[in-house]
């Protein structure tokens, strides 16, 4: 079994490598982060003739984008009844249309650029075996139908058989996100864009005609000057301006890949907690079942050994299938559950952000690339107001804000007041990190930075190792 290596990353040794930044650069757009969002932005902008440079701390698509389920869907769990009640019908319909358009956009890109990434149209389901959850499923079906979504209620699905109920969204899709991003990266180079790996951005400065981005590469400091700056690092690494760290948190999930002969027709996720999501994947080595979920806020105590719930599910329904891959992945969640896409701050012109995807970044990454490209080119985008990154409404979510402030108090303020020896503090904003015995990492409960056992940085928003 391979630990902390997702099935999507198993063949990466044969991929195209990108060198680190070796000399200062001047470009139109500097993109920080080489996941699916950053590379999608680079693809769209380079197609428009802009000179772009992508700066990636590790390897492109090696973190969250390389550990996804690869579901391309507008069905973001049980979400549309929540949106209708909190945002109204017009807003909710636009959110759905933006994500439906993203599915079609991705399919068109794959066809146009001839990207071999195992794209398939599938139905997507949110299911429950709990009678107490049935009303939520039924309500979501009614809300979806009121928006014009072709949603269906079913009481039986493959693998699980008879259930209490599920909501089906037909004509969604799944793919191999790593192959897709690699295909986009190839197009970026063909469009005269540049991609740099092993290049860690540590700071930026606003200048008269744009931005100067500072990065560490091969032990040296290099600079990239650009008129436009796009921060696509999953969780924004620059605290000021924007203050995005007070509007969202990070969650950690676990994943397994089983070798099996079972081929599925749909994609599935449970409505109840702990969440279990599953889909199949076929390549030249056979058929696999991906089982992902059991998420929790980064830094919280891990229940069920992290993988326990997923292993129990696998043993119940696929008792003979060996587990070949085991990994974890992190993603950002906004306090109002809607992504932040657009201007980084109202006081920082030509600086953009895309974050808070709530584990549905396959579609929202495409939404982000289109929206940010339109902003840079001065074009109107019908979904701009839906995802406005400078909105302050999220902090009015009093329950979530209360939980966040309590975490900061417990992890940053109280440990400092007690001045306990032997504690480790995050290099981002100084919160006390906690040890995750499942992943063998130091995790920050405040903003989600994660570190290896020796203190080496794994994921931000921190840009430095533990002291």
Give the domain CATH number at 377.
3.50.50.60
Question: Average pLDDT for residues 334-351, to the nearest whole number?
Answer: 94
Q: Band the pLDDT of 5: cuts 50, 70, 90.
A: confident
Last residue of a domain, one of 395, 415, 434: 395
Q: What angle do CA 62, 293, 91 make, to 5 degrees?
A: 90
With a cut of 90, say whether residue 455 has pLDDT above it: yes
| Strand 194-196, strand 52-55: pairing | parallel
Q: Do 239 and 346 share a structural domain?
A: yes
In a domain? residue 208:
yes
Residue 190 per-residue DSSP state: H
Q: Which of 185, 211, 283, 218 is closest to 26 using CA atoms? A: 211
pLDDT of residue 398: 54
With a cut of 90, say whether residue 1 has pLDDT above it: no
What's the CA gap between 292 and 275, in Å, rounded? Answer: 8
pLDDT of residue 394: 62
Q: Do 454 and 347 share a structural domain?
A: no
pLDDT of residue 312: 96
pLDDT of residue 412: 56
The pTM for the full model equals 0.93
With a cut of 90, say whether residue 301 has pLDDT above it: no
Q: Do 346 and 234 share a structural domain?
A: yes
Q: Do 241 and 194 share a structural domain?
A: yes
Chain position carrying tokens 């279990």: 276
In a domain? residue 301:
no
Please tell me the least confidently modeled range out of 67-71, 94-98, 118-122, 396-400: 396-400
pLDDT of residue 8: 94
What's the CA gap between 142 and 145, in Å, rounded? Answer: 5
pLDDT of residue 165: 98
- Which H or E run includes 229? strand 220-231
pLDDT of residue 404: 54
What's the CA gap between 245 and 445, in Å, rounded? Answer: 12
Q: Band the pLDDT of 396: cuts 50, 70, 90.
A: low
The number of beta carbons lying within 10 Å of the beta carbon of residue 101 is 17
pLDDT of residue 143: 98
Q: Do 240 and 189 share a structural domain?
A: yes
* Contact between 270 and 293 (Cβ < 8 Å): yes
The larger pLDDT score, comparing residue 206 to residue 392, is at 206
With a cut of 70, say whether residue 414 has pLDDT above it: no
Question: Average pLDDT for residues 203-210, to the nearest whole number?
Answer: 95
Last residue of a domain, one of 369, 395, 421: 395
Last residue of a domain, one of 357, 376, 395: 395
The larger pLDDT score, comparing residue 403 to residue 322, is at 322
pLDDT of residue 210: 96
Q: Band the pLDDT of 203: cuts 50, 70, 90.
A: very high
Q: Which of 275, 276, 434 is closest to 451 using CA atoms? A: 434
Please, which residues bridge with residue 290 across strands?
A: 257, 279
Mean pLDDT, the chain, rounded, equals 92
Express as a percent the part of the chain with pLDDT over 70: 93
Q: Band the pLDDT of 243: cuts 50, 70, 90.
A: confident
Q: What is the pLDDT of residues 349-392, one digit of tens each?
A: 999 999 999 999 999 999 999 999 999 999 999 999 999 999 98
Q: Band the pLDDT of 2: cuts 50, 70, 90.
A: low
In a domain? residue 414:
yes
Q: Band the pLDDT of 405: cuts 50, 70, 90.
A: low
Q: Do 405 and 389 share a structural domain?
A: no
Helix then strand then coil, in percent of the chain rounded to 5, is 30, 35, 35
What's the domain count of the chain?
Answer: 2
What's the domain range around 410? Answer: 397-459
In a domain? residue 436:
yes
Question: For residue 274, is the peptide bond before it cis, meaning its omega torsion is within 30 degrees of 0?
Answer: yes
pLDDT of residue 241: 87
In sequence order, which residues have a C-beta less than 8 Å from that of residue 258 and are 6 or more positions away? 288, 289, 291, 314, 318, 321, 322, 323, 324
pLDDT of residue 263: 95
**φ, ψ dihedrals at 163, nearest 5°:** -130, 175
DSSP string, 396-452: G-HHHHHHHHHHHIIIIIHHHHHT-TT--B-TTT-PBPEEETTTTEEE-TTT--EE-
b/e burial code for range 47-67 (CB count within 10 A of at least 16 → b): bbebbbbbbbbbbbbbbbbbb
Q: Do 406 and 387 share a structural domain?
A: no
With a cut of 90, say whether residue 37 has pLDDT above it: yes
Q: Do 389 and 403 share a structural domain?
A: no
In a domain? residue 160:
no
Long-range (24+ apart) CB contacts under 8 A made by 137-140 are: 137/78, 137/164, 137/165, 137/166, 137/167, 137/271, 138/165, 139/81, 140/78, 140/79, 140/80, 140/81, 140/167
Q: Do 383 and 419 share a structural domain?
A: no
Q: Do 407 and 384 share a structural domain?
A: no
What's the CA gap between 404 and 248, in Å, rounded? Answer: 8
In a domain? residue 199:
yes
Q: What angle do CA 458, 463, 467 make, to 5 degrees?
A: 80
Question: Average pLDDT for residues 189-214, to the nearest whole number?
Answer: 97
* Contact between 105 and 175 (Cβ < 8 Å): no
In a domain? residue 105:
no
Q: Do 451 and 347 share a structural domain?
A: no
Please, which residues bridge with residue 28 across strands?
A: none
In a domain? residue 432:
yes
pLDDT of residue 409: 58
pLDDT of residue 326: 95
Q: Do 341 and 240 share a structural domain?
A: yes
């Amino acid at each position: 079994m391979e630990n902390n290596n997702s099935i999507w990353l198993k063949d990466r040794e044969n991929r195209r490598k990108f060198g680190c930044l070796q000399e200062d650069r001047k470009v139109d757009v500097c993109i920080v982060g080489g996941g699916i969002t950053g590379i999608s932005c680079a693809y769209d902008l380079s197609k428009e003739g802009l000179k772009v440079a992508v700066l990636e701390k590790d390897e492109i698509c090696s973190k969250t984008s390389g550990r996804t389920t690869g579901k391309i869907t507008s069905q973001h769990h049980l979400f549309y009844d929540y949106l209708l009640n909190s945002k109204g019908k017009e807003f909710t319909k636009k959110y759905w249309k933006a994500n439906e358009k993203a599915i079609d956009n991705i399919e068109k890109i794959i066809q146009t650029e001839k990207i071999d990434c195992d794209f398939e149209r599938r139905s997507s389901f949110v299911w429950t075996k709990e009678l107490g959850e049935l009303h939520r499923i039924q309500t979501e079906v009614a809300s979806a139908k009121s928006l014009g979504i072709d949603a269906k209620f079913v009481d039986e699905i493959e693998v699980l058989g008879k259930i209490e109920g599920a909501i089906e969204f037909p004509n969604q899709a799944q793919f191999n996100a790593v192959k897709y991003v690699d295909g986009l990266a190839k197009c970026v180079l063909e469009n005269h864009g540049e991609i740099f790996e092993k290049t860690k951005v540590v700071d930026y400065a606003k200048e008269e005609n744009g931005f100067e981005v500072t990065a560490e590469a091969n032990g040296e400091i290099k600079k990239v000057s650009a008129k436009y700056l796009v921060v696509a690092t999953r969780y924004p690494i620059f605290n000021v301006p924007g203050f995005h760290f007070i509007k969202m948190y990070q969650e950690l999930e676990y994943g397994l890949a089983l070798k099996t002969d079972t081929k599925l027709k749909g994609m599935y996720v449970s409505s109840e907690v702990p969440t279990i999501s599953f889909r199949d994947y076929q390549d030249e080595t056979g058929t696999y079942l991906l089982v992902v979920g059991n998420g929790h806020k980064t830094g919280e105590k891990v229940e069920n050994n992290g993988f326990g719930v997923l292993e129990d599910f696998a043993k119940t329904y696929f008792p003979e299938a060996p587990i070949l891959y085991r990994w974890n992945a992190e993603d950002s969640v906004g306090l109002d559950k809607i992504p932040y896409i657009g201007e980084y701050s109202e006081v920082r012109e030509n600086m953009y952000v895309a974050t808070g995807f709530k584990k549905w970044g396959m579609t929202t990454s495409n939404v982000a690339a289109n929206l940010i490209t339109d902003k840079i080119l001065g074009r109107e985008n019908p979904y701009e107001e839906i995802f406005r990154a400078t909105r302050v409404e999220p902090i009015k979510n009093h329950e979530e804000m209360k939980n966040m402030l309590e975490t900061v108090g417990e992890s940053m303020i109280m440990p400092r007041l007690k001045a306990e020896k032997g504690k480790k503090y995050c290099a981002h904003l100084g919160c006390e990190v906690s040890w995750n015995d499942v992943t063998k990492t130091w995790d920050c409960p405040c903003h989600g930075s994660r570190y290896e056992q020796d203190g080496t940085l794994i994921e931000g928003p921190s840009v430095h190792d533990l002291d």
